[in-house]
């Protein structure tokens, strides 16, 4: 059963038989249509996202009427300056719907700071904890009163945003942000963000990619249940999870019902998108890459592949390219996201089913617990049968077009370790295979972290870029595996990531959205927008790992050696002083008395 039906009358109206209907009126302006096309193709702004984040000065209806009149008056061919005048007269500045917000539960000295020994890292922990105050955003009351005037999706509680051009919540980013907040003991802010997501599933049926109506056709890796689990692990508030169960099940079923495909006789899940047209926030960029396609259908397919890649969170990457030869070489026109079964999405859904089963067990709903354990079991079997690759010694994405595994490294190939989506009794064997895979792909040879792929295309989710969530999946996955070798590598990679992020911070006083695998302390680049700072998930991962490794990491051996020397000097001086005092007393007593 498809839970969500997209109404044909108004493509942005989402009718969900269990969770109500939600209609983004402002989608007529921000998601599709002639106004969006005219303005975005005029390229008025350096960043295409700027226009779709601007506030409407009049109702969507009046704006559209004025636009029709404007186009008629200009013979449907207005100049760039005339379009700019229209925009100036009808739109206000971007981001005015949000106030910077100091989280009310922010504290100056959360306990994790005391777990850090190195003084410079300790100060960095303090700085990172301070950054939450810069990334806090609260919606103005007017957003709730007049939502049609904005592209922002109204939510009840303030949020922590990623930073830079990303001034609204992002779905999967929020998982690492929330874990960071929990380590910073900001339980109310974390809970508020989770409640926003729960309210969104209730209103819309699923969680869009980010907090703007123009993301309405796509989600991101579904980590809401894991956010709830993190909150409960920190606060022991089981009731919070139990009360959320209906909504968590709904999100799980949404993915299963809308994204399932068949591979080798098993049900597995892919990324996909349900909207039409180019990405509103990168409109002209998508129109440009669509030029190589001649028919309207082919262009639409291309847009869907790009938006499905955005649903994966890895926009963009050679991971999603399938060229005519069935390999990953190519460019965005080769994107075939919907034909690739991604390891992590299936692993995350397995994890969701396990966590939902666990929450049902806490609630005493035994039948439901068994139901979700069974669902988890089925997904695990499918992952093992289709995605595990004995020859490579790792899990691999699966190409549905050429019916073959895609033997290209992506950190997500190891994501089943992170969520324990494998037969735990085989940990020793899997550990040996995976460590061989890591060696064979030379993954330990990069000073700045494990890159996202081994192929440099200039896209931001390719070599040499390294991303915090991916380091997290690798490091926590290897740690979970539990063998001494896997644990040792996990610790080394985790500590290296902390040191390399610190080096970048020491030089620039900034936290970056992505880093550079080839340069210790270097930040990332490439893709369709400049590298952003802030930055939610990078801060979250570092705070968690400062708490985890803070007692062990020292920034430099030189520093450690200097401190040891100082200690020896002090001890030596004390010893000399004591011996001297005894000698003095001896001489005084025996010679002078």
Ligand X SMILES: OC[C@H]1O[C@H](O[C@H]2O[C@H](CO)[C@@H](O)[C@H](O)[C@H]2O)[C@H](O)[C@@H](O)[C@@H]1O
Q: Which residues bind ligand X (CB under 6 A)?
A: 49, 162, 166, 170, 172-173, 209-210, 279, 281-282, 310, 313, 315
DSSP H stretches of helix in 260-365: 283-289, 296-312, 343-363
Please say which residue, 29 or 435, places its beta carbon nearer to ligand X: 29
Q: Taking the complex as a whole, how short is the minimal distance between the CB of residue 512 and ligand X, in angstroms?
A: 11
Beta strands in 165-304 (DSSP E): 260-263, 266-269
Please say which residue, 161 or 417, places its beta carbon nearer to ligand X: 161
Angle at 160 between CA 157 and CA 162, to 5 degrees: 140
- Residues 539, 541, 542, 547: is their CA dihedral positive or negative? positive
Distances (CA, A) of 31 to 36, 279, 480: 7, 8, 42
Peptide bond into 317 cis (omega under 30): no
50 CA to centre of own chain: 21
Judge whether 513 counts as a catalytic residue. Answer: yes
Burial 288-297 (b: 16+ CB within 10 A, else e): ebbeeeeeee
Beta-strand relationship, 465-466 and 515-516: antiparallel
Q: Taking the complex as a whole, how short is the minimal distance between the CB of residue 291 and ligand X, in angstroms?
A: 19
Q: Please enumerate in sequence order all residues whose Cβ is within 8 A of that of 115, keeping only pairs 6 or more positions apart, or say none.
A: 546, 547, 550, 551
The token duo for 372 is 């979700």
Q: Distance between terminal CA atoms of the chain?
A: 105
What is d(CA 355, CA 345) in angstroms, rounded to the nearest whole number? 15
Q: Taking the complex as a whole, how short is the minimal distance between the CB of residue 316 and ligand X, in angstroms?
A: 8
Which residue is catalytic, options 185, 397, 479, 513? Answer: 513
Q: Taking the complex as a whole, how short is the minimal distance between the CB of residue 471 and ligand X, in angstroms?
A: 14
Please say which residue, 196 or 380, places its beta carbon nearer to ligand X: 196
Q: Taking the complex as a whole, how short is the minimal distance between the CB of residue 200 and ligand X, in angstroms?
A: 16
| Sheet strands side by side (includes 20-23) | 4-6, 13-16, 20-23
Q: Taking the complex as a whole, how short is the minimal distance between the CB of residue 81 and ligand X, in angstroms?
A: 26
Q: Helices 80-90 & 60-73, crossing angle to 10 degrees? A: 160
Judge whether 315 counts as a catalytic residue. Answer: yes
What number of other Cβ atoms are within 10 A of residue 480's Cβ? 17
The widest CA-to-CA distance across the chain, in whole angstroms, is 118
Please say which residue, 173 or 305, places its beta carbon nearer to ligand X: 173
How many CA atoms within 13 Å lie on the side-chain side of 218? Answer: 33
Please say which residue, 209 or 453, places its beta carbon nearer to ligand X: 209
What number of other Cβ atoms are within 10 A of residue 318's Cβ? 27
Please say which residue, 312 or 433, places its beta carbon nearer to ligand X: 312
7: left (phi over 0), alpha (psi -120 to 50) or beta: beta
Please say which residue, 266 or 279, places its beta carbon nearer to ligand X: 279
Q: Which of 254, 220, 276, 259 is nearest to 27 (CA)?
A: 276
**Tokens 């959360």 found at:** 110
- Residue 98 near residue 179, CB atoms below 8 Å: no
Which residue is catalytic, options 53, 315, 358, 476? Answer: 315
- Residue 355 near residue 225, CB atoms below 8 Å: yes
What is d(CA 30, CA 219) in angstroms, rounded to the nearest whole number? 17
Q: Taking the complex as a whole, how short is the minimal distance between the CB of residue 174 and ligand X, in angstroms?
A: 9
Please say which residue, 70 or 170, places its beta carbon nearer to ligand X: 170
Q: Taking the complex as a whole, how short is the minimal distance between the CB of residue 457 and ligand X, in angstroms?
A: 14
69: left (phi over 0), alpha (psi -120 to 50) or beta: alpha
Q: Taking the complex as a whole, how short is the minimal distance between the CB of residue 311 and ligand X, in angstroms?
A: 8
Q: Taking the complex as a whole, how short is the minimal distance between the CB of residue 535 and ligand X, in angstroms?
A: 8
Please say which residue, 316 or 359, places its beta carbon nearer to ligand X: 316
Please say which residue, 221 or 477, places its beta carbon nearer to ligand X: 221
What is d(CA 562, CA 554) in angstroms, rounded to the nearest whole number? 12
The residues annotated with a catalytic role in the active site are: 315, 513
């Amino acid at each position: 059963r498809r839970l969500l039906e997209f109404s044909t009358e108004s493509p942005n109206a989402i009718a969900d038989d269990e969770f109500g209907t939600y209609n983004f009126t402002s989608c007529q302006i921000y998601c599709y249509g002639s106004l969006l096309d005219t303005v975005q193709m005029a390229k008025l702004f350096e960043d295409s996202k700027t226009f779709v984040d601007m506030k409407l000065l009049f109702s969507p209806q009046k704006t559209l009427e004025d636009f029709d009149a404007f186009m008629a008056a200009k013979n449907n061919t207005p100049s760039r300056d005339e379009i700019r005048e229209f925009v100036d007269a009808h739109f206000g500045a971007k981001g005015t719907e949000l106030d910077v917000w100091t989280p009310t539960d922010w504290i100056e000295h959360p306990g994790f700071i005391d777990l850090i020994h190195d003084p410079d890292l300790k100060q960095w922990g303090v700085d990172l904890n301070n950054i939450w105050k810069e990334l806090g955003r609260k919606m103005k009351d007017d957003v709730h009163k007049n939502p049609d005037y904005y592209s922002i999706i109204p939510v009840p509680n303030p949020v922590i945003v990623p930073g830079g051009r990303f001034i609204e919540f992002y779905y999967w980013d929020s998982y690492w942000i929330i874990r960071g907040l929990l380590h910073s003991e900001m339980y109310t802010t974390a809970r508020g963000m989770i409640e926003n997501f729960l309210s969104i599933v209730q209103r819309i049926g699923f969680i869009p990619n980010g907090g703007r109506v123009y993301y309405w056709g796509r989600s991101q890796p579904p980590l809401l249940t894991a956010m709830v689990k993190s909150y409960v692990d920190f606060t022991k508030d089981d009731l919070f999870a139990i009360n959320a169960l209906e909504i968590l099940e709904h999100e799980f079923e949404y993915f299963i019902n809308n994204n399932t495909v068949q591979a080798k006789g098993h049900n597995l899940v892919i990324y996909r998108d349900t909207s039409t047209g180019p990405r509103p926030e990168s409109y002209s960029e998508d129109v440009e890459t669509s030029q190589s396609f001649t028919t309207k259908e082919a262009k639409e397919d291309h847009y869907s592949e790009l938006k499905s890649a955005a649903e994966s969170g890895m926009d963009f990457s050679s991971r999603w390219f399938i060229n005519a030869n069935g390999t990953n070489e190519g460019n965005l026109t080769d994107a075939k996201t919907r034909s690739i079964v991604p390891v992590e999405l299936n692993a995350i859904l397995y994890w969701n089913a396990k966590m939902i089963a666990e929450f049902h067990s806490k609630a005493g709903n035994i039948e439901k617990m068994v139901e979700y354990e069974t669902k988890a079991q089925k997904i695990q079997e499918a992952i093992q049968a289709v995605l595990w690759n004995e020859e490579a010694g790792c899990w691999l994405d699966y190409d549905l077009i050429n019916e073959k595994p895609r033997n290209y490294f992506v950190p997500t190939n190891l994501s089943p370790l992170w969520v324990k989506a494998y037969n735990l009794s085989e940990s020793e064997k899997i550990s040996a295979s995976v460590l061989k895979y890591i060696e064979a792909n030379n993954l330990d040879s990069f000073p700045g972290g494990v890159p996202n792929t081994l192929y440099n295309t200039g896209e931001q989710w390719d070599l040499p870029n390294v991303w915090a969530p991916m380091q997290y999946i690798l490091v926590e996955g290897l740690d979970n595996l539990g063998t001494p070798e896997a644990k040792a590598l996990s610790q080394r990679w985790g500590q290296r990531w902390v040191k390399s992020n610190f080096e970048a911070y020491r030089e620039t006083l900034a936290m970056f959205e992505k880093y550079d695998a080839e340069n210790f302390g270097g930040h990332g680049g490439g893709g369709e927008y400049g590298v952003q700072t802030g930055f939610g998930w990078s801060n979250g991962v570092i705070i968690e790992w400062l708490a985890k490794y803070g007692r062990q990491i020292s920034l430099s051996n030189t520093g450690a050696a200097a401190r040891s020397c100082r200690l020896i000097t002090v001890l030596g001086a004390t010893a000399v002083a004591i011996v001297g005092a005894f000698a003095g007393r001896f001489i005084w007593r025996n010679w002078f008395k």
